[in-house]
Amino acid sequence: MKQTVSVICGIILLFLGACGIKEWTMPTWDVTVRIPLINEKYFILDLADGENLIIAEDNVLVMQGSGSLSTPNFGSLSLGADINSDPIPITANHAVTLDFPLVDPVNNYELVYGVLDSGVFETLFTDIDPSVQSIRIIFQQISRPDTTPLEIIYEAPGVWTATDLTGCLIGAPNSNQIIDEINISINSVSSAPDGTVIGQLRLRNQGEFRFSEFKGVLHGYRLDLDGSATTLTISYPMGIEQAVTLTEARLAVMLDNYVGFECTFHGEFFAQNSVTGETFSLPILDIDNQPFSTVPANGDTPGVSQFIMEENVTDLLQIMPDIIEIRNAYFIVTSTPSMPIGTVRMTDYIHGDYTISSPFRFILHNSPIEVADPVKVEISEQNRDRIRKNVRSVSFELGITNRLPIGAQAKVYIGLTPEINVNDPETYSFMRSMAISSANANPSQQNINIGLNNAELMVFTNPEVYLKWVFHFESSGGLPVTITATTDDYIQLKSMLIAEIYVGKQQ
């Protein structure tokens, strides 16, 4: 048995010796490697910034801008009455009653009741008889702040004496009767026989009567804005101002009127596209081309009015302005047949807010819309080495899902820094373009495979690569397109490198 085993072993050794032992060779093969680059969804709702772009109740994206306006405090209202009497005889122990017209010849304002902020009566007593003991002038319609009648007491003859009327009241607050004259009585006490002329009086007012509160009739009082009207600045996302024409727009103005008169609003909205230089002016008028009227205040409660403008507003927005401002704006405070008597105080004013809005129902033009921020892609060291040393072939594969009702031509610019300027080839390495069908034509993923040459491939041997996307959406042919902003409205972009990697001994 032992002999048989030895023979077998000898035969095996002889066989191996005859064949020889060659060097072992590592097997080689090709492996397909998929290197993910991006997987991004661009949702329409992400455009909503809560300021210039919002989502309406019907899920339609709406472009809007808001501003405010205000007048200064009304200030003291002046009544330009001119009282200047000829010499008035004063008779002993006998009351003389006189009427002076209270008429505003310039503005035709009519007074019912007022609190004077300023005003002065001047009196001049002359030829006063030595028998005079006292002379008093009593004003029937004017009272002191404590509501006692205004009186002027004779003190010295021959000089004009001024009486300050600040804080005095003319008329009664609950009255609706126009005061068109001031009634005075001159009362004297003298030892001279009754009815004897004992002196002369002249009476005049110095300057205008100014009121801190005025109740009465106004005609065409102009109240300008205080210059604080907000200039509305609109920022459009991704350059859409060049790609769309808006088809509908709405301008809403909300006013709080603290003035106790109806007021009409005058002015214009001025729009400017600072890129194209286009401008447009829109008068602030209702559908009958008349100024809007505000509701008057009721005491301390302001009158609230809302105006809606839709006619011609689209024309203003079609220039896609980035600046909108109110110009040449003012209010006319006036009595009306329905409210002839009103009230205004020094501290009254008018404040307003306005909003201009346009839903994303627009006519689309074939103009680029650029995604602002490039996508950063990090390439692992292992994949960089594979691409650099072992790649036989490579392609750039795109998977695009378009859930928008419009097709587009998409361009991707690939570079090594985030400062990619699509108009400057020096800022990126290469570019590829592809057609994207609309959601109506193809709601599923659209796959596009693009071959790369060796120089383009070597871009992906860098640690970081940046992809910038630009979309040229198809023209809507003059028909409006509505863009909604739900979780189903998006463009999804997937991209990867498909590389055939040689595995085995390095060549």
**Whole-angstrom Cα distance, residue 98 to residue 307?**
51
Beta-carbon contacts of 49 under 8 Å, excluding residues fewer than 6 positions away, are none
Q: Which two tokens stand for residue 219?
A: 């005609």
Cβ pair 137, 184 in contact under 8 A: yes
Question: What pLDDT, on a 0 to 100 scale, did the predictor assign at position 4?
Answer: 44
Gap between the Cα atoms of 388 and 61, Å rounded: 46
Chain-centre distance for alpha carbon 195: 74
- 3 state DSSP class of 138: strand
The DSSP annotation for 266-325 comes to: EEEEEEE-TTT--EEEEE---TTS--EEPPPPBTTBPEEEEEEE-TTHHHHHTT--SEEE
What are the structure tokens assigned to 45, written together?
């709702």
- Residue 396 has, within 13 A of its CA and on its CB side, a CA count of 22
Question: How many residues comprise the chain?
Answer: 507
Q: What is the dihedral of CA 47, 49, 54, 57, to 10 degrees?
A: 90
Q: Which helix (H) or strand (E) holds 390?
A: helix 381-390
pLDDT for the residue 17: 41
Pick the CATH number of 29-48+366-503 from 2.30.30, 1.10.3720, 1.10.3470, 2.60.120: 2.60.120
Is the domain 77-209 a CATH 2.60.120.20 member? yes
Provide the 10 A C-beta neighbour count for residue 130: 8
User: What pLDDT score was predicted for residue 22?
Assistant: 46
Query: Taking the mean position of all CA atoms in its chain, how far away is CA 76?
Result: 32
Consecutive 10-residue runs of the chain (507 residues): their mean pLDDT?
44 38 50 79 81 84 86 93 92 93 90 96 95 95 94 93 96 94 95 95 92 96 84 74 80 95 94 90 92 94 94 84 89 94 96 89 78 84 81 80 87 93 94 87 86 86 90 81 86 83 59
- Cβ burial of 290 (10 Å; 0-12, 13-18, 19+) is exposed
Give the list of residues 6+ apart from residue 353 with CB closer than 8 angstroms, or none: 66, 67, 68, 69, 253, 254
First-to-final CA distance of the chain: 53
Sign of CA dihedral 370, 371, 372, 375: negative
3-class DSSP state for residue 222?
strand
CA atoms within 13 A on the CB side of 154: 25
- Domain 61-71+225-359, CATH 3.40.1350 — does that match? no
- SS3 string, 67-85, reads EEEECCCCCCEEECCCCEC
- Residue pair 164/205 in contact by the 8 Å Cβ criterion: no
**Are 439 and 403 within 8 A, CB to CB?**
yes
* Residue intervals in the chain for CATH 2.60.120.20: 77-209
pLDDT for 143-163, tens place per residue?
999 999 999 999 989 999 999
Which residues fall within 8 angstroms of residue 435, CB to CB, at 6 or more apart? 407, 408, 409, 410
